[in-house]
A and B are shown apart, each in its own frame.
Chain A
Amino acid sequence: MTDDVAAPAATVAVARVRGEMPPWRLLLRRPTFIVGAAILLFWVVCAVFGHMIAPQDPLAQQLLATNSAPSGAHWFGTDQLGRDVFSRVIVGARSILVISFFATVIGTVAGTALGLAMGYLGGVIDIVGGRIVEAVLALPLVIVAFLFVVAVGPSPQTIIIVIGLVFTPLIARTVRSAVLVERQQDYLASARLLGENRTYIMFVEVLPNVVPVVLVEFTVRLGYAIFTVAGLSFLGFGVQPPTPDWGADISVNYGVLPAGYWWMTLFPALAIASLVIAINLVTDSIEQVLAS
Chain B
Amino acid sequence: MATYILKRLGLALVTLWLLSVLVFLACQVLPGDPGRAILGNLASPSAVAALDHQLGVDRPLVEQYWTWVTGLLHGNFGTSTQFRAPVGPYIKAALVNSIKLAALAFVIVVPLGIVGGVVAALNYGRAADRIISVAGLSATTVPEFVSGIVVIVVFGVALKVLPVSASAGAGASPASQFQHLILPAIPLVLILFGYIARMARAGTIEALNSDYARTATLKGLKRSVVIRRHILRNSLLPTITVIATQLGYLIGGLVIVETLFNYQGIGNLIFKAANSKDFPMLAAGVLTIGIVYMVATLIADILYTVLNPRLRLGGAE
Interface residues of A (CB under 8 A from B): 1, 3-4, 7, 32, 134-136, 138-140, 142-144, 146-148, 150-152, 223-224, 226-227, 230-231, 234-237, 247, 250, 254, 257-258, 260, 262, 265-266, 269-270, 272-273, 276-277, 279-281, 283-284
Contact = CB atoms under 8 A, between A and B. Distances in A.
A100 to B, nearest CB: 12
Interface of B: 11-12, 14-15, 18-19, 22-23, 25-27, 30-31, 130, 133-134, 137-138, 141-147, 149-150, 152-153, 156-158, 164-165, 195, 198-199, 202, 242, 245-246, 248-249, 252-253, 255-256, 259-260, 270-271, 274-275, 282, 286, 289-290, 293-294, 297
A281 B31 CA distance: 41
Contacts of B145: 230-231, 234, 247, 250, 254, 269
Contacts of B25: 151
Contacts of B23: 147
Given A257-B157, A280-B137, 17 more contacts: A135-B11, A140-B248, A143-B252, A144-B19, A147-B23, A148-B30, A151-B31, A226-B141, A227-B143, A235-B259, A236-B275, A237-B274, A266-B149, A269-B146, A269-B149, A273-B150, A276-B141
B161 to A, nearest CB: 14
A139 B290 contact: yes
A235 B40 CA distance: 25
Contacts of A283: 137
Given A135-B18, A147-B27, A231-B256, A272 B150 contact: no
A222 to B, nearest CB: 10
A4 B195 contact: yes
Contact of A224 (B22, B141, B252): B141
Contacts of B259: 234-235
Helix, strand, loop or mixed for chain A's interface?
helix
Nearest to A246: B146
A234 B259 CA distance: 10
B134 A32 contact: yes
Top 9 nearest A-B pairs (CB, nearest first) are A151-B30, A151-B26, A140-B252, A138-B15, A150-B274, A269-B146, A269-B149, A140-B293, A276-B141
Contact of A234 (B12, B30, B256): B256
Contacts of B141: 223-224, 226-227, 276-277, 279-280
